[in-house]
Amino acid sequence: MINDVIDHLAGITPGSPLDRLRARRPGAREHAQRSFDALFTPDDDSDVTLVERDAIAAFVAGLHQDAEIASFYADRLAELSPGLLKAVESEIEAGGTTGPYGVYPDGGPLAKESDEGLRYRARNPADLGVRLAAAFEHAHLLVFRPREAREGDLDALARAGWSATAIVTLSQLVAFLTFQIRVVAGLRLLRKGSAS
């Protein structure tokens, strides 16, 4: 049983210097975990199913190219829907790139900072289904080029069957993971370099 996913992934054990360090920010620690719980074991999954949550998380974690974190989320998906994992792995391969990038509006004050990059489309949308294919494309946008997000991107999700409430949950899921993965990466380095 994992009590705290960030501790688990960052290799922080009870009583260690990093454990004591995290105890100095008890609200952040408790509520980062509560965010995970609210996203992955929600009271109500009628807007976004558990399989959808785990599939999107496995995709997002895979895009971050951290083997341990990617395995953690891939294993969760494999447990719930083993058939879907292969399709997700193929999409991670199709979506692999480095970010953040993205164009700013033409003629606007930031246009000179525009930075072109991959605009991922689901490689095998039939394997994912309409809803997940749209969710993966949106997740990729959020992970790598959020500055390009436009109102029309939400229309595309709506056409694929995502309700307004589901879009909020989906956005939180992807955005939360971009936080959690970075906290893990940072704390891991701090743990390795900790003198005590």
Partner 1 sequence: MTGFTQDQLGWEPWLAPLTADELTDEHYEALVDKARAASPYFLLLARDPDVLHARTKTDVDIFYNADSGLPRAERELAATATSRRNGCVYCASVHARFAGHYSKRPDDVQRLLDEGVGAPQEGTWRAVVDASVALAATPDEFGPEHVAALRAAGLDDLAISDTIHAAAFFNWANRLMLSLGEPTQEAGQ
Q: Is 25 in the site for partner 1 (CB under 8 A)?
A: yes
Binding mask 37-76 for partner 1 (x = CB under 8 A): xxx--xx-------------------xxxx----------
Q: What residues contact 55, with CB distance under 8 A and at least 6 apart?
A: 77, 81, 84, 88, 128, 132
* 3-state DSSP assignment of residue 102: strand
32 contacts partner 1 (rule: CB under 8 A): yes
Residue 122 sits at the vertex; the CA angle it makes with 120 and 123, to the nearest 5 degrees, is 105
**By CB under 8 A, residue 11 contacts partner 1:** no
Exactly one of 74, 87, 135, 181 binds partner 1 (CB under 8 A); that residue is 181
HSE-CB at 125 with a 13 A cutoff on CA atoms is: 10
* Least CB distance to partner 1 at residue 42 (A): 7
- Residue span binding partner 1 (CB under 8 A) among the ranges 72-80, 83-91, 121-129, 135-143: 135-143
Tokens of 142: 């959020």
For tokens 């589901």, name the residue: 166
**Beta-ladder partners of 115:** 102
In the complex, the smallest distance separating the C-beta of residue 172 from partner 1, rounded to whole angstroms, is 5
Sign of CA dihedral 164, 167, 171, 177: positive
* Beta carbons of 146 and 175 less than 8 angstroms apart: no
What are the residues binding partner 1 (CB under 8 A)?
Answer: 17, 21-22, 24-28, 30-32, 34-35, 37-39, 42-43, 63-66, 98-100, 102, 104-105, 108-110, 113, 138, 141-144, 146-147, 149, 151, 153-154, 164-165, 167-169, 171-172, 174-176, 178-183, 185-187, 189-190, 192-194
